[in-house]
Structure formats: C-alpha cells, structure tokens
C-alpha cells in the first residue's frame, strides 16, 4: 500500500462525476492506479457532493442481474429490496432482471424514479454456461432498450445483497471491482488465466489487479466493447475446447488489462464476510452470500 500518486490529480480533473475526491483521506490504502484511475475507498469522497453533482446530470443508471434456476428464489428478492435501500438512491434507476421464468420474479416495491424490467432468456445447460452466457446477452441488451434508456450500467451477480450506500461515486466510463479475496495478494500469485492457448491468457508479468466479475460497470459504449470482447473470447475458447480458469471473470480480467478501467472500486464495494474483519474495510456496500453451490448448481 502507498498513498496518493501524482497522476491522481490529472484523473481527478478528468473525473466529471465525483468532482471532489479526497484520495489523501485514506493514506493506508492505495487510492490511485499507476495509470491515474482513482480507487474509491470509503472516506475518499463526499457522498453529498457526489450525489448533488450526479443529480444535476439527470442520469439514468441501469442495474442488470441474472437470476436463472434456483438463484431466483434464493437471492433475487433480497438483492432488489436492498438495492432499493442503497443503490443510487436519489437517481433514476432501471433494473434489468434476466431470467427464464419472468412470472417468478418477486414484486418488489420500487421508489419514485425507479423501474424494473424483466427480460426473458433461455436457460443454458451447465452453470458455467449460464455465467458465461451473460456476456452475450448483456451485449445484445446494451444494443437494445437498455442501451437506449440508461447512460451508465452496472452488471452484478445476484448472490449478494447491499449493506451500505452504493452511489454515484462508483460511476465512470468504465469501472472494475477489486476482488475481496485477492486485493492484497502479490501480483505474481493472482489467479489470471495463464494458459497461452486461451483468449483470456495473460503472460507472466501481465495483470494489474485481479478484478471480480460480480460487479462491473461503465457507459453503454464502454460496456458494449467489454461484453463484445468477453463474448468473443469465450466463443473462441469454446471452439478450441478450452474453458478459462475462472470462466467469464478470466476474460473480464483480460479486457481490463488491455483497456484500463477509468475507476476502480475498493473491496468495500463487494465484500465477503467470510474473510472476517479487516481494518481497511470500513463500510461494506455489498456482501456476498455464502457459497452454497450444492444447493444451487446441478
Ligand atoms: N447465475 C444464475 N443461475 C445459475 C448460475 C449463475 O442465475 O445457475 C447467475 C447469478 O446471477 C450468479 C452469477 O450468474 O450470481 C454468477 O454465478 P455464481 O454467483 O454462482 O458464480 P461465482 O460468484 O461463485 O463465481
Ligand atoms: Mn456470485
């Protein structure tokens, strides 16, 4: 860990959403990447200022989530209910729920300026295919109504719930989430795909951070590129009989290596309670559910 890097100044000037970032407020953690993107930690922004600035821009923020098979009953209601309490409160929000069973989507009471759309998707065979199929489906959705009605979009896993304010401080042209289990690991040990035959492969020495596929976001244009890249990589690997180590997440990490994210979210934005208490994790925004794969996956 180290403090503010000089490039932070430039990136803060460029960042027209948060305006007032205070990277120096958290000297014990890394608050800026080597390419000048802010890493957002609790305390490095003023929530009121951020909210006011975003409000002036009259944005519509999309939140996509897939709930297929048993994930729907197990997670979707709590995900949406807690999003109503914490996700982009005060902004216009449109949820996109992708499911093979629209009728089973719970009716969650939505605040003013917030709506929910349900998109029918075919159920893929294996759970890996469900996860990986998301990139293709998202790409199509971003090229359709979602892309027309939202200015920024977050794409999230459903097996988590909001536990704190997740606001416009997280918005940027492209946004990556530091993985809670890996943010303090030596780069050499990060679980990137290393098999050179895979489209997701990173060579030794490559890779900045290990990002979590449970949360990523950005402008519609940036996400169109991201999802196209990942869907193509997944398709290419499959044609060669390959599957990257962490599926769509491996391809996402390759994309963010090639196209550096404009903003990085600290692990406070997507935390695993199983890790236990850490001094630098002040206020988690999203908490992972315990992994109960035996109940969820066939
Ligand atoms: N998912 C789903 N049904 C499935 C498998 C996956 O709806 O059968 C969706 C769901 O949104 C889930 C995400 O894909 O959160 C990623 O899968 P999972 O959370 O199991 O992967 P992990 O976070 O463990 O890598
Ligand atoms: Mn998950």
Contact 24, 5 (CB under 8 A): no
Decide if 28 is inside a domain: no
Number of H helices, E strands in the chain: 9, 10
Decide if 7 is inside a domain: no
Tokens of residue 290, six digits: 């315990």
Q: What gap in Å lies between CA 184 and CA 46, rounded to an integer?
A: 26
Q: Closest ligand 1 atom to the C-alpha of 159? A: 15
The number of folded domains in the chain is 1
**pTM as predicted:** 0.94
Decide if 53 is inside a domain: yes
Q: Which domain holds residue 60?
A: 43-296
- pLDDT at site 293: 78
Q: Near ion ligand 2, which residues have CB within 5 Å?
A: 157, 159
Decide if 131 is inside a domain: yes
Determine the residue of 131, 214, 253 to mutate for testing ligand 1's pocket, defined as the one with the most ligand atoms within 8 A of the Cβ atom.
131
Decide if 1 is inside a domain: no
Contact 225, 259 (CB under 8 A): yes
Decide if 17 is inside a domain: no
Q: Provide block-wise average pLDDT over 10 residues at a time, the chain (298 residues).
A: 45 51 93 95 94 94 97 98 98 98 98 98 88 94 98 98 97 98 95 98 97 98 98 96 97 98 98 96 96 78
Decide if 24 is inside a domain: no
Burial of residue 34 (number of CB atoms within 10 Å: 0-12, 13-18, 19+): exposed
Q: Give Cβ neighbours of residue 53 (< 8 Å, ≥ 6 apart).
A: 17, 18, 19, 168
Beta strands in 67-210 (DSSP E): 92-99, 114-120, 152-156, 160-162, 174-178
- pLDDT at site 105: 98
Q: What gap in Å lies between CA 239 and CA 220, rounded to an integer?
A: 28
Contact 84, 109 (CB under 8 A): yes
Q: Closest ligand 1 atom to the C-alpha of 249? A: 25
- pLDDT at site 8: 44
- pLDDT at site 13: 47
Q: Give Cβ neighbours of residue 96 (< 8 Å, ≥ 6 apart).
A: 62, 63, 64, 65, 117, 119, 141, 146
Residue 240 CA to ligand 1 centre (angstroms): 24
Decide if 60 is inside a domain: yes
CATH code for the domain of 225: 3.90.550.10
Atom 13, ligand 1: residue with shortest CA distance: 157
Q: Closest ligand 1 atom to the C-alpha of 65? A: 11
Residue 157 CA to ligand 2 centre (angstroms): 5
């Amino acid at each position: 860990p180290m403090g503010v890097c000089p490039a932070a100044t430039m990136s803060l000037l460029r960042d027209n959403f948060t305006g007032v970032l205070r990277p120096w407020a958290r000297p014990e953690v890394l608050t800026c990447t080597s390419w000048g993107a802010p890493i957002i930690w609790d305390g490095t922004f003023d929530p009121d200022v951020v909210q006011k600035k975003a409000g002036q821009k009259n944005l519509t923020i999309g939140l996509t989530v897939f709930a297929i098979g048993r994930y729907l009953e197990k997670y979707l209601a709590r995900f949406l209910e807690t999003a109503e309490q914490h996700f982009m409160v005060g902004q216009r929000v449109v949820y996109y729920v992708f499911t093979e069973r629209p009728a089973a989507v719970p009716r969650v009471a939505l605040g003013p300026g917030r709506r929910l759309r349900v998109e029918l998707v075919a159920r893929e065979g294996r759970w890996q295919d469900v996860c990986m199929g998301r990139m293709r489906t998202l790409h199509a959705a971003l090229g359709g109504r979602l892309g027309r009605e939202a200015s920024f979009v977050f794409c999230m896993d459903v097996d988590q719930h909001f536990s704190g304010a997740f606001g416009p401080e997280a918005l940027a042209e492209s946004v990556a989430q530091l993985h809670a289990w890996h943010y303090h690991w030596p780069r050499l040990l990060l679980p990137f795909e290393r098999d050179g035959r895979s489209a997701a492969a990173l060579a030794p020495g490559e890779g900045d951070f290990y990002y979590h596929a449970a949360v990523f976001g950005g402008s519609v244009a940036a996400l169109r590129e991201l999802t196209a890249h990942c869907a193509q990589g997944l398709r290419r690997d499959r044609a060669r009989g390959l599957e990257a180590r962490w599926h769509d997440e491996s391809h996402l990490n390759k994309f963010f290596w090639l196209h550096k994210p404009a903003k990085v979210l600290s692990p406070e934005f997507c935390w695993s309670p199983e890790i236990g208490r850490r001094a630098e994790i002040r206020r988690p925004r999203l908490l992972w559910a315990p992994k109960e794969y035996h109940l969820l996956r066939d």
